[in-house]
Amino acid sequence: MHIAILGGGVAGVASAIAFRLKGFDVTVYERRDADTNIGAGIVVWPNAAFVLDQFGILDDMAAVSGRPRAMRRLSRAGEDLGALDIGLIDAGMGYSSLSILRMDFQRILAARLQSLGVDIRYGHKVARIDAGTVVHFENGATLTADLVVGADGRMASCARRYVTGDATPVYQGFINWIGVCEGEFDADTISDYWGTGERFGIVPVARDKAYWAGGAAQATIGARDPDDYRDELQRIFVDWPAPVRRVIAGTPVARINKIYVHDHDPVPAWHRDNLVMIGDAAHAALPTSGQGACQALEDAWHLANCIEAHPGNVDRALGAFTALRFQKTAGITLAGRGLASSLFNRDEAFCRERDRASRHADYAALARAMADGWSRHLPLGA
């Protein structure tokens, strides 16, 4: 059985690894001309750590990662809004959470794929897909496969268009500026500052390095000028607590990116003919979900298992995969939207009440609920 994977990001590379480990013939096609790093960092929550363990690369990831133990919520004035004990999540799921730069994460994934004898074929942008098994590329190449896996992202997924007829992502009304900064950090603690229509998160990966995201509500999509990114951030966060201002000032302009954040409405159909979409193409959760890359890894592991469990019957395998994954990923997508709508609300009275509720939240119960939800359909537990 030959499997063609469209997309060389997290979902595509992870699914290629999962398939190769089961002995399948796999080829990966990527629209970009070369590998690029467009993100800042990732929290590898225990559900994702489990999958990386199955891939044989968890120790490699851990060697270049931080181990966050708490997530502190603070107001824009630096007031304590409560803290989530990440150790409770880890204990409930049986794996430690890790914080890692995306460039390191992708490098280790790619190295594992290469060790399995699979290369990524760059410069292959999809022109059209026929019958779910024939893919035509803009460079003139054509492939035919027994199974096509669409891991081609949230913004212009040809796989999603083939399955659903529409691949238009939904702008969710806020911007994220992201970056990586060197300095002095509390390596055990993620800091999450909440304002009125703004939010700033700092995630250490070591005592001397962190990645961060500064978000702000904006009703429409505007310009992108990298030379202006730091100035934009400094205007928005000019009077925020010192750690926020230090991170912005200390990040090289070349390490700052600006993203107008989109997702997709959940859809119950993920496959048509012998093509299935996974990762952001299928369920592009907002960064407020904390689960984008984690769910891509779960997709990869589950899809390979389903194909192996239904030899010779791709349609049944893809139906089983979709039934297994839809409810969990839809819930995560909608939860990410719910938190984003709260964080980027411009109503001051609403935000005061939101902060009051956070100060009085039962964080132990929240940690247990997160562990239970993220463990769904995985053999996890302390």
Residue 113, Cα to own-chain centre: how many angstroms?
Answer: 19
Q: What's the rounded Cα separation, in Å, for the pair 320 and 283? A: 17
The label of the residue with tokens 């096509």 reads 148
Q: Does the residue 19 lie in any domain?
A: yes
Q: Which residues contact 372 (CB under 8 A, 6 or more apart)?
A: 92
Q: Are 151 and 15 in contact (CB under 8 A)?
A: yes
pLDDT average, residue stretch 69-86: 97
**Single-letter residue type at 298:** E
Residue 52 confidence (pLDDT) above 90: yes
Pairing mode, strands 275-277 and 147-150: parallel
Q: Does the residue 348 lie in any domain?
A: yes
Q: Does the residue 290 lie in any domain?
A: yes
The predicted structure's pLDDT at residue 7: 97
Q: What is the DSSP letter of 378?
A: S
Per-residue confidence band for 35, with pLDDT thresholds at 50, 70 and 90: confident
Q: What's the rounded Cα separation, in Å, for the pair 364 and 371? A: 11
Q: Does the residue 237 lie in any domain?
A: no
Q: Does the residue 208 lie in any domain?
A: no
Q: What's the rounded Cα separation, in Å, for the pair 152 and 275? A: 12
Residue 38 confidence (pLDDT) above 90: no
- Phi then psi for residue 253, to 5 deg, are -55, -35
Residue 36 confidence (pLDDT) above 90: no
The label of the residue with tokens 């229509």 reads 197
Q: Does the residue 202 lie in any domain?
A: no
Q: Does the residue 103 lie in any domain?
A: yes
Q: What is the pLDDT of residues 328-357, one digit of tens each?
A: 999 999 999 999 999 999 999 999 999 999
Q: Does the residue 233 lie in any domain?
A: no
The predicted structure's pLDDT at residue 380: 92
Q: What is the pLDDT of residues 304-323, one digit of tens each?
A: 999 999 999 999 999 999 99
Q: Which residues contact 339 (CB under 8 A, 6 or more apart)?
A: 286, 288, 289
Q: What is the pLDDT of residues 186-245, one digit of tens each?
A: 999 999 999 999 999 999 999 999 999 999 999 999 888 999 999 999 999 999 999 999
- Percent of the chain at pLDDT above 70? 99
Q: What's the rounded Cα separation, in Å, for the pair 157 and 263? A: 12
**Single-letter residue type at 254:** A
Q: Which residues contact 305 (CB under 8 A, 6 or more apart)?
A: none
Q: Mean pLDDT of all residues in the chain? A: 96
The predicted structure's pLDDT at residue 34: 85
The label of the residue with tokens 């049986």 reads 94
- Phi then psi for residue 127, to 5 deg, are -95, -45
**Residue 51's domain spans which residues?**
2-170+263-375
Q: Are 124 and 132 in contact (CB under 8 A)?
A: no
pLDDT average, residue stretch 251-271: 95
Residue 381 confidence (pLDDT) above 80: no
Q: What is the DSSP letter of 335?
A: H
What is the SS3 assignment for 9?
A: coil
Which H or E element spans position 155?
none
Task: Give the domain CATH number at 40.
Answer: 3.50.50.60
Q: What is the pLDDT of residues 152-182, one digit of tens each?
A: 999 999 999 999 999 999 999 999 999 999 9
Q: Domain total for the chain?
A: 1
Q: What's the rounded Cα separation, in Å, for the pair 369 and 89? A: 9
The predicted structure's pLDDT at residue 382: 56
The predicted structure's pLDDT at residue 210: 98
